Structure 1
Amino acid sequence: MPSKSGLCVPKSKKQVQSFLGLASYYRRFVPHYSQIAAPLTDLTKKKQPNAVQWTKKCQKAFNKLKATLMSDPVLRAPDFDKPFLLTTDASERGVGAVLMQKGPDQEFHPVVFLSKKLSERESNWSVTEKERYAIVYALEKLRPYVWGRRFHLPTDHAALKWLHTIKETNKKLLRWSLALQDFDFDIRHISGASNKVADALSRESFPELTG
């Protein structure tokens, strides 16, 4: 069942892990994070069933962490005088992205969270097609933020490092590559462990959240 913010209450251990993957990335901004998240992390323990037993304590922790993700000091309003960093990711069933900026504390804060469930047809695309679509989708949604501004695009999909240079034979990829030429960004490879937020967003449906 969706909550008031649009986030669905996790029904499986895997969904709880996805939500915690997103929330824990920003734990440094959340005082007493471990205590708040404890009812949820308990659900992910090895001996717990895959179908979670959702309690009032779980709901309270879930609501608290959602509220934290959608407010200061985690989510920040954009500063158009500073550079943006965009991370994207794709899973078998969805794409996700997060637009970030460094705050006065020199930490990266999210400005916008994006998530989209793939259609049945899109789910059958190759890994490279999904990963590139995640970028195209994010830039279509984030055009007001990044249009005309140089930004950084780290990705955990190594093939995308050559996005600007490879000669496309796939018409869909060629069309997307041409669309991406409208934007000014540099792309570099990062490890999957460094891309936890976009990864979590690609695996579960979250609403668009903006600072």
Structure 2
Amino acid sequence: MDLEKVQVISQWPTPHTVTEVRSFIGACQYLRKFIRHFSQIAAPLHSLTKANQKFEWSRNHQESFHLLKRKITEALVLALLNLQKPFEVEADASNYALGAILFQDGKPIAYHSEMFSGPVLNYPTYDKELYAMHQAVKHWRAYLLGKEVVVHSDHKPLQFLTTQSKLQQACHMKWMSYLQQFNIVIKYKK
């Protein structure tokens, strides 16, 4: 991790305009791979940058701003990946974002997060959790293809995904079709 960038972000003053918020988010984007649930943490700040949105800095924005600065200054050092060892993925979804971690030997190798947009925002919980799993595996496809991968989810119904005889929705079939190219074992994580 670039310590100069971390220091600049840790000393960043509270933004007072949309341009300043965009600059802060842009600076943080470089380090997002080190921050678990980056998209979820940054969501309140992103909401300020939308077109035709009046700029009103609230307590929620201040908390997001400080949490992001703290997470960046406290970021864990990521382990180096070893292609000879098995991989584990943890995927989780909130109402407006997904977060995922690629692990080996219980140590994080990489983080991935993304904001939901469009119709995904209106998906029910099951669909969002399955989508998060799909996106995580897709993001790390190059590492996971041809290997047994344990995928952890805190959404219990997903542990039965690979044994379901009939999927109800087209998006479920599409995502499962993609996931079937991998040797995935889904485990429920409390």
TM bin, normalised by shorter chain, reads: 0.5 to 0.7
Structure 2 residue aligned with 1:29: none
> 1:52: how far off?
3.5
Q: d(CA) in 2 for partners of 1:136 and 1:98?
A: 13
Q: What letter is aligned with 2:163?
A: T
> What is the TM-score when the length of structure 2 is the normalising length?
0.65
Q: d(CA) in 2 for partners of 1:113 and 1:88?
A: 10
1:158-188 CA deviation, whole Å, 9 max, x = no partner? Answer: 0101110111121110111111110102111
> 1:119: how far off?
0.6
Q: d(CA) in 2 for partners of 1:169 and 1:121?
A: 18
How many residues of Structure 1 are paired with residues of Structure 2 in the alignment? Answer: 143
Structure 1 residue aligned with 2:84: 81
> 1:120: how far off?
3.0
Q: d(CA) in 2 for partners of 1:115 and 1:53?
A: 19
Higher RCO by CA contacts (8 Å cutoff, separation 6 or greater): 1
1:139-170 CA deviation, whole Å, 9 max, x = no partner? Answer: 11100111111111111100101110111121
> 1:50: how far off?
4.9
Structure 2 residue aligned with 1:4: 27
Structure 2 residue aligned with 1:208: none
> What is the TM-score when the length of structure 1 is the normalising length?
0.59
> 1:53: how far off?
7.7
Query: Where in structure 1 do 4 or more consecutive aligned residues deviate above 2 Å?
Result: 49-55, 67-70
Q: Which has the higher helix share?
A: 2
The residue correspondences of 1:6-155 to structure 2 (distance < 5 A) are 6=29, 50=60, 52=62, 62=69, 65-69=71-75, 74-102=77-105, 108-155=106-153
1:175 paired with 2:170, answer: no
Q: Does the 8 Å contact 2:41/2:64 carry over to 1?
A: no
Going from structure 1 to structure 2, the CA distance change for 1:54 and 1:132 (only over 3 Å counts) comes to closer
Q: d(CA) in 2 for partners of 1:186 and 1:68?
A: 32
Q: d(CA) in 2 for partners of 1:159 and 1:180?
A: 16
Q: What letter is aligned with 2:111?
A: F
RMSD value over aligned CA atoms?
Answer: 3.0
Q: What letter is aligned with 2:179?
A: L
- Percent identity over the alignment is 26
Structure 2 residue aligned with 1:28: none
Q: What letter is aligned with 1:172?
A: C
Q: d(CA) in 1 for partners of 2:126 and 2:63?
A: 37
Q: d(CA) in 2 for partners of 1:125 and 1:138?
A: 17
Q: Secondary structure at the match of 1:78?
A: coil
Q: Secondary structure at the match of 1:164?
A: helix
Q: d(CA) in 2 for partners of 1:5 and 1:119?
A: 20
Q: Which runs of 5+ in 2 are unaligned?
A: 1-20, 32-37, 43-58
Q: d(CA) in 1 for partners of 2:136 and 2:61?
A: 32
Q: Which runs of 5+ in 1 are unaligned?
A: 9-14, 20-48, 103-107, 192-211
Structure 1 residue aligned with 2:46: none
1:9-56 CA deviation, whole Å, 9 max, x = no partner? Answer: xxxxxx9x959xxxxxxxxxxxxxxxxxxxxxxxxxxxxx6564899x
Q: d(CA) in 2 for partners of 1:68 and 1:145?
A: 27
Q: d(CA) in 2 for partners of 1:131 and 1:155?
A: 8
Q: What letter is aligned with 1:151?
A: V
